[in-house]
Amino acid sequence: MFSLPDLVRALHDGTLTPSAHVEDVLERLSGDTTNSVVTLDAEGARRRAAELTEASRRGDRAGRLHGVAVGIKDLVDVAGLPTRCGSRILADAPPAAADAPIVARLRAAGAVIVGKLHTHEFAYGPTGDAAATGPAHNPHDLARITGGSSSGSAAALAAGHLALTVGTDTGASVRTPAALCGVVGLKPCRGALPGDGVFALAESFDTVGLLAPDVASVGLAWDALTGAGGGRDDVRGLRVGVAEDDYWRPHDPVLAAAVTAAADALDRAGAEVVAVRTPGIEELAATYPTICGAEAYATHREWFESRRDEYQPATRDRLDAQTGTPAHAYVAAQRARRRLGDDLLAHLGARVDMLLSATTRLRATPIGAEEVPLPDGTTAHVRTSMLALTSPFNLTDRPAVSVPAALPSDGLPAGMQVAAVGTDVSPVLRAAAVIEGVA
């Protein structure tokens, strides 16, 4: 995989030209075996790379991402390319008339947009195996899921095609594919990266996020796009909570061991690591499917009533389940979310600055599997296992990052999540940098 700081350095010092970099990326994407690529804008990317190469010769730089090739989840508008959202419903979508603001911001920073990447249909799923173009495949095992819904954004990184991609996260959709593919995924607070020009799944939670091979790469991109930067680069004095409630316990012992190792690494680095409880977490999490489902159904109602057979079966089933949800259930869930979320943040805020957990309860499962067996003879529901540990931080609108542990011996990545109690991204990135690659 590319490291973004190394790539930016090579583009800056002339070791690599934007044109050579973009040509290499286009070749890699053209030969992709993970089904990550939806549309390539080879002509536009080469044209922009040539302009940036000429600027480099003059000693000019467009921005901190000068010449860096970036892939965009096919939920986000890119001028001149259709936004199909992984669905037959939008098979005939016209090219977008304008860039979404996040794409415009990337271009202003000097990035070269090379194309659109796979998404779970309409972002309505954490697995990445339901789309009009077929499932995305995990580069570590092509028979397994990438996670979703930013499936192509994670797989294209893990396959070594790109150093930066854009995804969206409504309940899991940046962090879960990052965890399953062994890359880093950052979900900031809503609106920290502009969300206009992105097809809505659930407007209460939809958040634009970033994926990259490592924490340093995500940090560089975050700074380039938001103007953040500076401050401390260590974790001394940070209070890190490890939740001891059963809710946070993963099904996979590899994930539990990774969290323990991460907590030990943070302790050695000077953080204050403490066990904490998360009162009301199950009740809070239970509001998510009601709110997300109702908002998704409101978006799709007219299409669903007239074109239901064009949806993927998994999407159709989830929308079907929402047809009888009364308005009062949605309102009650929203009220409970605010009350329980505020109570949880107040409880945690008096004790810790962030929470450490596994990102998912399972690692990558076989494509198409709805349930998988566990060592104790029971089974685990895949979709719930990929969503349960991430959605609380959409419900509370707090920054969270998934960071990979050292690759386990079986070759399936294990992701750990660090989520802030406050709204600042910097502390979670500092903690993530300490635990990145911990065995």
On whether both 342 and 378 belong to a single domain, the answer is yes
Task: Say yes or no to pLDDT of 7 above 80.
Answer: yes
315 assigned to some structural domain: no
Residue 197 CA: distances (Å) to CA of 103, 187, 373: 9, 18, 40
- Which pLDDT belongs to residue 12? 97
pTM: 0.98
| Cis bond upstream, residue 149 (ω within 30) | yes
Task: Say yes or no to pLDDT of 231 above 90.
Answer: no
**Sign of the C-alpha dihedral, residues 205, 391, 223, 136?**
negative
Task: Say yes or no to pLDDT of 185 above 80.
Answer: yes
On whether both 55 and 197 belong to a single domain, the answer is yes
On whether both 267 and 159 belong to a single domain, the answer is no
Considering its fold, how many domains does the chain have in total? 2
Task: Say yes or no to pLDDT of 1 above 70.
Answer: no
Instruction: Output the average pLDDT for the chain.
Output: 97
CA–CA separation, 23 vs 42, rounded Å?
9
Domain boundary among 180, 202, 226: 226
- Which pLDDT belongs to residue 439? 74
On whether both 42 and 138 belong to a single domain, the answer is yes
213 assigned to some structural domain: yes
Domain boundary among 181, 201, 226: 226
The DSSP annotation for 229-264 comes to: --S--S-TT-EEEEE-SGGG--SSHHHHHHHHHHHH
Q: Give the domain range for residue 177.
A: 4-226
Please give the average per-residue pLDDT across 285-294, as a whole number: 98
CA–CA separation, 52 vs 34, rounded Å?
30
**Known catalytic residues?**
73, 149, 173
- Which pLDDT belongs to residue 131? 98
What is the chain's alpha carbon radius of gyration, rounded to the nearest angstrom? Answer: 21
Task: Say yes or no to pLDDT of 229 above 90.
Answer: no
DSSP label at 112? Answer: E
Residue 242 CA: distances (Å) to CA of 146, 245, 264, 396, 419: 26, 9, 11, 18, 11
Structural contact between residues 77 and 31, judged by C-beta atoms closer than 8 angstroms:
no
On whether both 48 and 79 belong to a single domain, the answer is yes
Question: Residues near 188 by Cβ (< 8 Å), separated by ≥ 6?
Answer: 207, 209, 222, 399, 425
- Which pLDDT belongs to residue 401? 98
138 assigned to some structural domain: yes
Overall size of the chain counted in residues:
439
pLDDT tens sequence across 88-117: 999 999 999 999 999 999 999 999 999 999
Structural contact between residues 375 and 381, judged by C-beta atoms closer than 8 angstroms:
no
On whether both 216 and 341 belong to a single domain, the answer is no
Please give the average per-residue pLDDT across 196-203, as a whole number: 98
CATH number of the domain enclosing 113 = 3.90.1300.10
pLDDT category at 13 given cuts 50, 70, 90 is very high
On whether both 16 and 108 belong to a single domain, the answer is yes
